[in-house]
Amino acid sequence: MERLKTAGKYILNFLIILAIGALSLFLSVGSEGKDFIDALVTSDKRFIFVMAGLMLCYYLIDALILFIICKELKYRITYKQSFVTNMTGVLFSDLTPSSTGGQFAQVYVFHNQGVPAGIGSGILAMCFVTYQIVIIVYATAAMLLNHTIIFANQQTTVIAVVGFIVNVVITGSFFLATKLKKFHTFLTVSCLKFLEKIHLVKDYDKTSKTVTKSFEEFRNVSSILFSRKSLFFKVCLCHALKLTLLYSVPFFAALALKVPLTAGNYPKFLSLAAAISLFNTFMPIPGASGGSEASFVLLFGFLGQATASSAMLIWRMLTFYFGLLLSILIVAFAKDTKGGIMKGIKEMEKAQEDTPVLKPEDTVSGGDGEQIGNKREIDQQ
């Protein structure tokens, strides 16, 4: 019964994504439905395959990040296993608000692959830390280089500024909370107490423990990353590359619709896509549905309403539904997801409080690493 209830929740979220996406598309097309259909029918299908290739490379690089970190920590999982873990995260992140379900699913798959829950959670925290740093730096550069475009009107300014502030505040809060005890206390006591009073937090003690544990994990993985400059650089470089691929999709969507573009237009499209990505990162809707479509049409409105809506549909299909379909197939057939993944997610959620966090002393290098790696293999047998 519990498993059916969990499955029902994900199915409901998927239907919500489709409904909100369809409504956003209908509102954006307006009275230009015929032009919208004509644009899609006459589009250059070759660029659809180009965009599919870009997104496949995006997921492959994402998996490479997991593989690099696991290798650094001497956990011997294959690249194929890293890809399965990554796509599991894609599926459950897409189906849950603010991508909250992805981590539990990935930790469960890591567990099936022989990586302890605490280590798996730490690896994902490393991905989060580096991703947030890269996306903020990337977006800052994009907005500075193309400020006349992004801040051209009130709507696009709000999208860029709100997204930027939310990302900076959340990331900065983690760093400050790990460095300043008073700020940590303020967030875990004063803020949570206030949220409890206005009924946004139901269980203060449980939430406080979860937040404190997140701060501890953030502090530990930051210490590991910044002490291993080679690892930090490689992971950040991978993030920058995958984001560039992701942000390139709108440019090729416009080309597919036969918009006359040159290479000189490419930076403009990258910048606008970066602004959308910032805004959608923490949207409390499964798949950031609704906000993604609306922000795209606003930012790319210079293409014309019908063309912008058509480009938005192509972009959304490739950047969201393509990955969702691919992840469903991989999760359905991969042996690392055996045992009922939704049941495993519930178990990971319940065990979250008792799961130890990754500590600097848990990471090794050189000859000692090989010895510990061998010991882990023996322990797992």
Angle separating helix axes 266-280 and 117-145, nearest 10 degrees: 130
Closest-CA residue to 118 (of 331, 363, 338, 334) = 363
Number of neighbouring beta carbons within 10 Å of residue 230 = 8
Confidence band, pLDDT 50/70/90 cuts, at residue 347: low
Per-residue model confidence (pLDDT) at position 8: 53
Q: Would residue 317 be called left, alpha or beta, if left means φ above 0 and alpha means ψ between -120 and 50 degrees?
A: alpha
Closest-CA residue to 305 (of 19, 17, 18, 34) = 34
Per-residue model confidence (pLDDT) at position 224: 81
* Distance (Å, whole) CA 204 – CA 192: 7
Confidence band, pLDDT 50/70/90 cuts, at residue 364: low
Closest-CA residue to 57 (of 236, 251, 248, 235) = 248
Whole-prediction pTM: 0.78
Mean pLDDT of 171-194: 77
Per-residue model confidence (pLDDT) at position 244: 95
Summarize the chain as % helix, strand, coil (round to 5). Answer: 85, 0, 15
Instruction: Please state, rounded to an integer, the average pLDDT across all residues of the chain.
Output: 75
* Distance (Å, whole) CA 238 – CA 252: 21
* Distance (Å, whole) CA 1 – CA 13: 19
Does 162 score more than 70 pLDDT? yes
| Residue 97 phi, psi (nearest 5) | -60, 135
Question: Residue 20 is which amino acid?
Answer: I
Does 115 score more than 50 pLDDT? yes
Instruction: Please indicate whether residue 94 or residue 44 has the higher confidence score (pLDDT).
Output: 44
Question: Residue 241 is which amino acid?
Answer: L
Per-residue model confidence (pLDDT) at position 343: 57
Residues 183-228 have pLDDT tens digits of: 777 777 778 887 777 776 777 777 777 777 777 777 778 788 888 8
Q: Residue 275 in contact with residue 247, Cβ under 8 Å?
A: no
* Distance (Å, whole) CA 324 – CA 177: 35
Residue span of the structural domain in which 173 resides: 2-380
Q: Which residues contact 93 (CB under 8 A, 6 or more apart)?
A: 99, 101, 102
Confidence band, pLDDT 50/70/90 cuts, at residue 246: very high
* Displacement of CA 32 from its chain's centroid (Å): 33
Count of domains observed in the chain: 1
Q: Residue 34 in contact with residue 305, Cβ under 8 Å?
A: no
Number of neighbouring beta carbons within 10 Å of residue 225 = 21
